[in-house]
Amino acid sequence: MRGHVAKKGNRYYAVIYEGIDPGTGKGRHRWHAAGSTRKEAERLLADLVKRHHDGEYRPPEKITLGEYLERWLPTQRQPLAASTFSSYQRNVRLHVLPYIGAIPIQRLTPEDLDNLYAQLLSNGRRNKGGGALEPKTVRLVHAVIHKALADAHRKGSVARNVADLADPPKISTRARPKMKVWTADELRRFLELIEGHDLYPAFYIKANTGMRRGELLGLTWRVIDFDNARLSVTQTVTAPDYQMVVSDVKSAHSLRTIDLDERTIAVLRSWKKRQLEIYMQTGVRTDDSGFVFARPDGEPLHPDYFSQTFERLIAKMELPRIRVHDLRHTHATLLLKAGVPIKVVSERLGHASVAFTMQVYQHVLPGMQADAAATFGEVVFGHRESER
């Protein structure tokens, strides 16, 4: 394969010679948009030549980005979790197709993506009120585009992944909202006030295990080990596009065992007895494969209903307003402040690494380090310094 770099206007191109056109008898050249610098074009040309020698090169398709994404999305349904696939579909439909879907995929440039991100950051909301999208949401849009173009590049549908050169917005750590958690007294007060509520056992277990909402709602009696006081997290309940889906947990780290204290085991035993009474009244037949927290007909609780119930409950209380997910943060924060090793907390939460746990709960660590410094001083010097 032969090729060269050419310039048209302010843009550079990698031009590939593809042989003689049998229809015209003239040489056929394929122009691949590279960017605004010769160096970018030279890199692209080298990549195209290598692909040809490796047998991976094929002429690019003449389709729009929107046509490619409509063809690509169905291939992602099986490898992705249902909720993740739903977010892919939603981001493509709302934030990609209306803006750059009509651009031929071969002519898509990094500048097109940068302009898209700027538009979304200024007025990307598609509801009646409009308004700006959060940088985190725009980065998710970028992630979908990047994945789609990476697959297109790997299979030869495009000469390069222009998303590699785009500049999605950065998420400043200062811009992140401060984590809201309850103190031990506030959590105890909440649980005391809702003790007679039907969902009291569910909120109790969530607060005492730190499980994610979907993991909690996916619990079955089969994974509760009463004798050894532990439960296993194996599946999750989600509601993408308002459709209930029960699926395996999202990662190997999420698949875990959580030890329970005697009080939590007692709550579960009491709830199991009460649930059986409800099922006898409604005529529902169930076994150990049944959901721990379910509707009277045995079907799993809807995640939105669970969250909305929590919001309605705390709206009537003189307690700081937090989200239901913040019960998970409360669990972790109280454990860390009590001196539980961060590795143990990370394992209970199902985090991918201790480093991630440290990043999320860094607000707790400064106090822990001060305690560690004081402890070290006590170990080495005893009370001599304080006696002076």
Average pLDDT over residues 14-30: 73
Does residue 385 lie in a domain region? no
Residue with tokens 């909301």: 125
* pLDDT, tens digit (0-9, with 9 covering 90-100), for 83-138: 888 899 999 999 999 999 999 998 899 999 999 999 999 988 877 667 888 899 99
Structure confidence at residue 200 (pLDDT): 97
**Does residue 125 share a domain with residue 9?**
no
Q: At 130, phi and psi to the nearest 5?
A: 65, -160
Average pLDDT over residues 39-54: 76
Predicted structure pTM score: 0.70
Structure confidence at residue 70 (pLDDT): 93
**Does residue 210 share a domain with residue 95?**
no
Does residue 305 lie in a domain region? yes
**Does residue 98 share a domain with residue 205?**
no
For the domain that residue 161 is a member of, what is the CATH number? Answer: 1.10.150.130
pLDDT above 90 (res 158): no
Domain of residue 9, residue span: 2-53
pLDDT-derived band at 196 (thresholds 50, 70, 90) equals very high
For the domain that residue 295 is a member of, what is the CATH number? Answer: 1.10.443.10
Does residue 84 lie in a domain region? yes
Q: Are 30 and 49 in contact (CB under 8 A)?
A: no
Q: At 64, phi and psi to the nearest 5?
A: -80, 165
pLDDT-derived band at 249 (thresholds 50, 70, 90) equals confident
Strand order in the sheet with 224-225: 224-225, 230-233, 256-259
* pLDDT, tens digit (0-9, with 9 covering 90-100), for 347-377: 999 999 999 999 889 878 776 677 777 777 7
pLDDT-derived band at 176 (thresholds 50, 70, 90) equals low
pLDDT above 90 (res 17): no
Does residue 126 lie in a domain region? yes
Q: Are 133 and 120 in contact (CB under 8 A)?
A: yes
Percent of the chain exceeding pLDDT 90 equals 55
Calpha distance 148→157 (Å, rounded): 11
Percent of the chain exceeding pLDDT 70 equals 91
